[in-house]
Amino acid sequence: MRRDGALVLEDVPLAVVAERYGTPCYVYSRAALTHAWCELDALLAAHPHQICYAVKANSNLAVLGVLAALGSGFDIVSVGELERALRAGADPKRVVFAGVGKRHDELERALEVGVGCFNVESEPELERLDEVARAHGRRAPVALRINPDVDARTHPYIATGLASNKFGIPVSAADAAYRRASDCAGLEVTGIACHIGSQLLDVQPFADALARVLELVDRLASAGMRLEHIDMGGGLGIRYRDETPPTAADYARALLTGMSGRGERLLLEPGRSIVGNAGLLLTRVEYLKQGEDRSFLICDAAMNDLIRPALYSAWQDILEVAPIPGAPARRVEVVGPVCETGDFLGRERQLSAGPGELLAIASAGAYGFVMASNYNSRPRAAEVMVDGDAMHLVRERESLADLMRGERLLPGACGSATPVGSISL
């Protein structure tokens, strides 16, 4: 939103955020986050349900804390995400533990804190979980993640419901896996899970996947295995450019239609659709470099801060924070300082900004900071959450000391902690 031409998030001018906390800086809106979660929750009110926000989309403690306070559950894929969720106030019973490669220690910790469900992705994982649970005198609540083999029609790197990828148990093997699971003394079979991909722009694949899952659920019931919940994963797309994703209402309607008349609780694991458009990346232009056939706006944010454009050729809108009235737009490539040709944030954009000016890269709340790295020894960005007219630093910018924390020179090497400016060779 703009006020007198300048971008504001809630009631905070982005220029003020940049001045206070520097750039690059991720900025999230508490109101947007809250709205997205509450809207979906309300739309599902007619059926017993639980939203388990997918922590991997944005795992900042403040984000998790806002959602936990609303009553959200969490979908986690590692013990690191589990500890974050707990620290943010999550109720462990509302946590589902997904992922194809859960380690022994991760299963132990999740059992110890009493997560609500383990979404198991293979028979070897079933066996391991059964063993761990029995060793601790526990029964682990289990859902099997089924691969319904539907085409999510999204980017191949984020399609997860096809027979050809590593996720889930194929429907054809599911009956046997359920029988196996129900014979395990350490397991209590409670549900079924699936997740067919991310950034879906159509509700039909969700409806198709649900229909396949329900067929299986009914078959299992007639064999005496009654499930209590159906977890349809995440994957609802958002608008980055000119896409027309289903609205939350379309999405909820499709799922509730499929579930109508049924008693199983519906679980959902949305990530991107909750946080994606609740955040942006703020960056400052360092240089305008005129190339032979194109110009480059070289920013202080780079692919290490936001990798989606480089990784998936993703398009995210780039806005001038305080455009100078009347300044002519030129066609530019928006790039960072990292030593990779693929280090771009946006290609062929019409922008008037020059050195020193601020840009906001929109729709960066999901799969932004969480995918950041220290490549080129760049400290990771600060994260800020605005709330009305208040702004809160929710993660400090990394320091140069943070960059080298835990590293060591070999014994006898002549490194030094000499302050910059007095380096001697």
Closest CB to ligand PLP among 344 and 367? 367
| In the complex, minimum distance from the CB of residue 349 to ligand PLP, in angstroms, rounded to a whole number | 26
Q: Is 268 in contact with 234 (CB distance < 8 Å)?
A: yes
Q: Does 368 bind ligand PLP (CB under 6 A)?
A: no
| In the complex, minimum distance from the CB of residue 237 to ligand PLP, in angstroms, rounded to a whole number | 8
Q: Does 233 bind ligand PLP (CB under 6 A)?
A: yes
Q: Does 365 bind ligand PLP (CB under 6 A)?
A: no
Closest CB to ligand PLP among 117 and 227? 117
DSSP string for residues in 269-318: --SHHHHGGGEEEEEEEEEEEE-SS-EEEEES--TTT--HHHHH-----E
The single residue among 24, 161, 234, 246 that binds ligand PLP, judged by CB under 6 A, is: 234
Structural element, H or E, at residue 400: helix 400-404
| In the complex, minimum distance from the CB of residue 194 to ligand PLP, in angstroms, rounded to a whole number | 9
Q: Is 384 in contact with 396 (CB distance < 8 Å)?
A: no
Active site residue 299: no
Q: Does 81 bind ligand PLP (CB under 6 A)?
A: no
The single residue among 76, 86, 95, 98 that binds ligand PLP, judged by CB under 6 A, is: 98
- Per DSSP (E only), the strands in 242-278 are 265-268
| In the complex, minimum distance from the CB of residue 197 to ligand PLP, in angstroms, rounded to a whole number | 7
Candidate list 38, 52, 194, 339, residue with the active-site label: 339
Residue 51 has phi, psi (to 5 degrees) of: -85, 125
Per CB under 6 A, the segment of 4-12, 177-185, 233-241, 296-304 that binds ligand PLP is 233-241
Per CB under 6 A, the segment of 17-25, 124-132, 234-242, 255-263 that binds ligand PLP is 234-242
Nearest Cα to Cα of residue 381 among 26, 59, 19: 26
Q: Does 32 bind ligand PLP (CB under 6 A)?
A: no
| In the complex, minimum distance from the CB of residue 134 to ligand PLP, in angstroms, rounded to a whole number | 26
Closest CB to ligand PLP among 30 and 56? 56
Which residues in the 238-277 window bind ligand PLP by CB under 6 A?
Answer: 269-273
| In the complex, minimum distance from the CB of residue 264 to ligand PLP, in angstroms, rounded to a whole number | 18
Size of the site for ligand PLP (CB under 6 A): 17
Q: Does 30 bind ligand PLP (CB under 6 A)?
A: no
Structural element, H or E, at residue 215: helix 204-222
Nearest Cα to Cα of residue 144 among 209, 100, 207: 100
Rounded to whole angstroms, the Cα distance separating 234 from 372 reads 22
Per CB under 6 A, the segment of 26-34, 50-58, 125-133, 406-414 that binds ligand PLP is 50-58
Per CB under 6 A, the segment of 25-33, 62-70, 227-235, 315-323 that binds ligand PLP is 227-235
Residue 244's contacts (CB-CB under 8 Å, 6 or more residues apart) are 201
Which residue carries 């693929």 as its tokens?
A: 342
| In the complex, minimum distance from the CB of residue 185 to ligand PLP, in angstroms, rounded to a whole number | 27
Q: Does 75 bind ligand PLP (CB under 6 A)?
A: yes
Q: At CA 72, angle to CA 369 and CA 190, rounded to 5? A: 110
Rounded to whole angstroms, the Cα distance separating 375 from 372 reads 9
Q: What is each CA distance from 6 to 45, 84, 287, in whole angstroms?
A: 38, 35, 21
Which residues in the 184-213 window bind ligand PLP by CB under 6 A?
Answer: 195, 198
Q: Does 308 bind ligand PLP (CB under 6 A)?
A: no
Closest CB to ligand PLP among 162 and 319? 162
Closest CB to ligand PLP among 54 and 220? 54
How many angstroms separate the first and last alpha carbons of the chain?
Answer: 52
Residue 136 is classified by DSSP as T
Q: Is 109 in contact with 76 (CB distance < 8 Å)?
A: no
Residue 224 falls in which region: left (phi positive, over 0), alpha (psi -120 to 50) or beta: left
Catalytic residues: 339
Which spans of this chain sit near ligand PLP (rule: CB under 6 A)?
A: 54, 56-57, 75, 98, 195, 198, 233-236, 269-273, 366
